[in-house]
Chain A
């Protein structure tokens, strides 16, 4: 019931938005419907935790062995919660941004939410693929229509890149389906597959490429900074806050447990790529002058760490990734909200043209500093918990190079502190200039959305157990499914 609602509410609200003429009405409507979604998502995590509410299955295309099977497991609950919380925050945080054809903008935003919810709850591979693509289409239109100057070329690259990845995944899905005894796309049938290592090996890459492009993992990241920079900021928040989680969820739900042998044997390669990406992206982030690009590269670094921790294949790493998926989503949306405010107020995103904002807009400075510190995982903030668990997991990984991975990932964290603190310094401290002279502080809606984000940051930072409890069961299940140690004893 609940997962169907989570898809249907934004879907119907989105379709309805196409027909609302008034800009203000459609804005309120989008906020209202997204609040409704949050309520449902929160209910799913808190009150209605019984299975009968959280799963739904009915026939869809029996001839193909596919059913409409949706379920909220712990990871699904968490990500749906994130998706649910993110959209009202986005709408609230960018309340003052004006869009041409606002009705289409908000309709597409809501449709993308429906697609994302679908990805997080689908328990049937074909359904998963459906939503995987469907989430992309509205985002493509959003970026291409309301983005920056180079938007058409950039988003096209983004689209073709991800489409290529997903069709490769489609082959993988089809192949796995043909191997199941009852020709089914159900996730449980995929888990029960016991393919030989050699086969797993090539199917692994079909899936991994799709996920790696989506996350993105070095060297498949080239679409990302451009796309983040050129998209309208509200869409960038969706892209970076939630869409990248599709790739992580894909790894955790559809790759590791389905192809455990290949995941183990290719683990070193993927972890190397991820760790290389952390260093690479952090180094580039240090050189950026454009705030949007800086945050984009920092996102690559964070995702790289999560990807590496996933392949560590232990409880600490997996739980760390789970909680960090949520944290990263919240934190980066907070950063983007402030970036959007700065861009709208001063007409520039270049750090070299800004400065001294802390004197003129102290509230903004406080919020920004807190979120930025959370972004570099200072203790007491949410990201600290996640990164601590992930590093712990990485260090204890079965790989013989685990120490090296940990060290290099740690260097990435230090570099992260460098560029983040540098950004704070350049934007908020120093002398004011012509651009920032007449700065205004935050408006009510901005305070509200950032306030919620900061509250979440501290709450999870102090009491992470609330989140960890949600995902404890599913992490255990994934690890048991991924465990191949019984193969070594033979």
Chain B
């Protein structure tokens, strides 16, 4: 509850800050301080310190799962702002507004990770989506950005509509918005109304996490949006929606698991296949990362498929590993003028430190041991094997992991083994250090995942 209220307040503060503060760097520092505050109060809440006591009628419950995810999300956002906040200023003139929108999105993130009622879920998803539409189109003079925003808006509202429809049907069947009530009655014979509602929810959530075949918007939107916002969209937001997805299907439809498991298996396999295979053929690193985010979503879907203790633990690790690595790569990418693979040629010679950290991020995404990416993939495979069914899904997953090595390593090859001019780029010391911290975090989590996961219990 601490973080929810403070993030909402911070959003408002940031919005008005541009009236009072003319200097952008002050606004930036304020946002970073605000995020630190969020992180602190959230960690305090994990340790039992609550500043606000509001009766939400159990519509929002901050359990360990939610709090841990919020911590990861705040930490990622903090690192993201440290790395890329300056770049936001280059997108347009409304610097403070962008930061305000990010705080509002965090508000939504907190809601969707801790909802117990479908109303809150809907509210959270909308609070996330609407600022995102704006951020996508924030580069007003760029035609691609506008197109992406429009595309995102139209498809996004359509899927939100589906979700609303689903919620309505479920309410019709069960007479309640609470996940607890929905699951209770579902234990007997589920009514057609409930199944229809569940499917609609499933499809709309699949859309939000860009699972195939609902992924078509993703490459265009990620590619068209200003890179600095793509980074945020592809990591923290996506992870939050995933957490909501898991929560929804665990708590509301957990007893129907066997009914929807096969459907999830098929969608997972499809997502893995389409995401990875298409990423192989990309020429632009940014677009490759968009497809890779689909591919990674496929891996995260495995946790939805398995839905056991391993899966939930693993998802936490996965979102942390994936967010850290992706934020890092995007932070480097933003600094470049040429987004193609060739643009990375000879990068290691001109920017050895950036190249080394980027390599660690890529290795993590590819799932090479010693990085968090490996253990998170490992958890997913373990969870999926733990179900004891659909072994083919696990095989598809590892085959696709091998495919993913191909496109991630193309960047490494370009950086290290190919000769190139190297692009002029201004890189500050703090930027470098933040990247090093990020890389260190990834390796630390890759060796001792317990640091993170022990928060889930105790």
Contact = CB atoms under 8 A, between A and B. Distances in A.
B399 interface: yes
> Which DSSP category, helix, strand, loop or mixed, fits chain B's interface?
helix
Contacts, number: 67
B382 A145 contact: no
Interface in A57-84: 61-64
A281 to B, nearest CB: 26
B398 interface: yes
Given A144-B413, A171-B398, A160 B382 contact: no
A330 B381 CA distance: 39
B313 interface: yes
User: Which 9 A-B residue pairs are closest in the complex by CB-CB distance?
Assistant: A167-B398, A164-B402, A130-B369, A133-B369, A144-B417, A174-B385, A152-B417, A174-B382, A163-B405
A130 B416 CA distance: 24
Contacts of B399: 164, 167
Contacts of B398: 167-168, 170-171
Contacts of A163: 402, 405
Contacts of A126: 378
A63 B370 contact: no
B409 A134 contact: no
Contact of B381 (A62, A144, A170): A170
Contacts of A175: 385
A265 interface: no
Contacts of B449: 61, 63
Contacts of A152: 413, 417-418
A171 B401 CA distance: 12
B37 interface: no
A180 to B, nearest CB: 13
A151 interface: yes
Given A141-B416, A145-B416, A151-B417, A134 B370 contact: yes
A165 to B, nearest CB: 9
Given A167-B398, A171-B394, A171-B398, 18 more contacts: A63-B449, A126-B378, A133-B370, A137-B368, A141-B416, A145-B416, A145-B417, A152-B417, A152-B418, A156-B406, A163-B405, A167-B399, A168-B398, A170-B378, A170-B381, A170-B398, A174-B378, A178-B386
Nearest to B381: A174
B395 interface: yes
Interface string B199-238: 0000000000000000000000000000000000000000
A177 B310 CA distance: 14
Contacts of A164: 399, 402
Given A167-B398, A178-B386, A63 B453 contact: yes
A174 B450 CA distance: 19
Interface residues on B, range: 20 to 34
B10 interface: no
B101 interface: no
Nearest to A59: B450
B319 interface: no
Interface residues of A, number: 28
Given A63-B313, A174-B385, A160 B370 contact: no
A163 B400 CA distance: 11
Interface string B337-358: 0000000000000000000000
A26 to B, nearest CB: 16
A174 B379 CA distance: 10
Nearest to B448: A61
Interface in B362-418: 363, 368-370, 374-375, 378, 381-382, 385-386, 394-395, 398-399, 401-402, 405-406, 409, 413, 416-418
Nearest to A65: B382
A175 B398 CA distance: 14
A316 B282 CA distance: 54
Contacts of B450: 61-63
Contact of B416 (A144, A159, A168): A144
A159 B417 CA distance: 15
A129 interface: yes
B405 A160 contact: yes
Nearest to A165: B402
| Chain A residues touching B, majority SS | helix
Contact of B370 (A130, A170, A174, A177): A130
Contacts of B378: 64, 126, 170, 174
25 contacts: A61-B449, A62-B450, A63-B449, A64-B378, A64-B382, A133-B368, A133-B369, A133-B370, A133-B374, A137-B368, A151-B417, A152-B417, A152-B418, A156-B406, A159-B405, A160-B402, A160-B406, A163-B402, A164-B399, A164-B402, A167-B398, A167-B401, A170-B381, A171-B394, A171-B395
A234 B331 CA distance: 37
Contacts of B382: 64, 174, 177-178
B369 A156 contact: no
Contacts of A63: 313, 449-450, 453
Contacts of A177: 382
B405 A178 contact: no
Given A63-B313, A130-B370, A134-B370, A171 B416 contact: no
Contacts of A61: 375, 448-450
A171 B393 CA distance: 11
A58 to B, nearest CB: 12
Interface in A156-210: 156, 159-160, 163-164, 167-168, 170-171, 174-175, 177-178
B156 to A, nearest CB: 35
A177 B386 CA distance: 10
A170 B377 CA distance: 11
A38 B448 CA distance: 30
Interface in B89-115: none
A134 B405 contact: no
Given A134-B369, A137-B363, A156 B402 contact: no
Nearest to A129: B369
A178 B450 CA distance: 20
Contacts of A130: 369-370
Contacts of A178: 382, 385-386
Interface in B301-354: 313
Nearest to B456: A63
A341 to B, nearest CB: 26
Select the residue from A61, A62, A159 with max chain B CB neighbours within 10 A. Answer: A61
A152 B453 CA distance: 39
Interface in B414-453: 416-418, 448-450, 453
B335 to A, nearest CB: 23
B365 to A, nearest CB: 14
A264 B417 CA distance: 45
A170 B399 CA distance: 12
Contact of A167 (B363, B370, B402, B413): B402
A152 B417 CA distance: 7
B386 to A, nearest CB: 6
A133 B375 CA distance: 13
Contacts of A151: 417
Contacts of B375: 61
A144 B414 CA distance: 11
Contact of A156 (B374, B413, B448): B413
A175 B448 CA distance: 22
B81 to A, nearest CB: 30
Contacts of A170: 378, 381, 398
B224 to A, nearest CB: 31
Contact of A171 (B385, B417, B453): B385
Contacts of A167: 398-399, 401-402
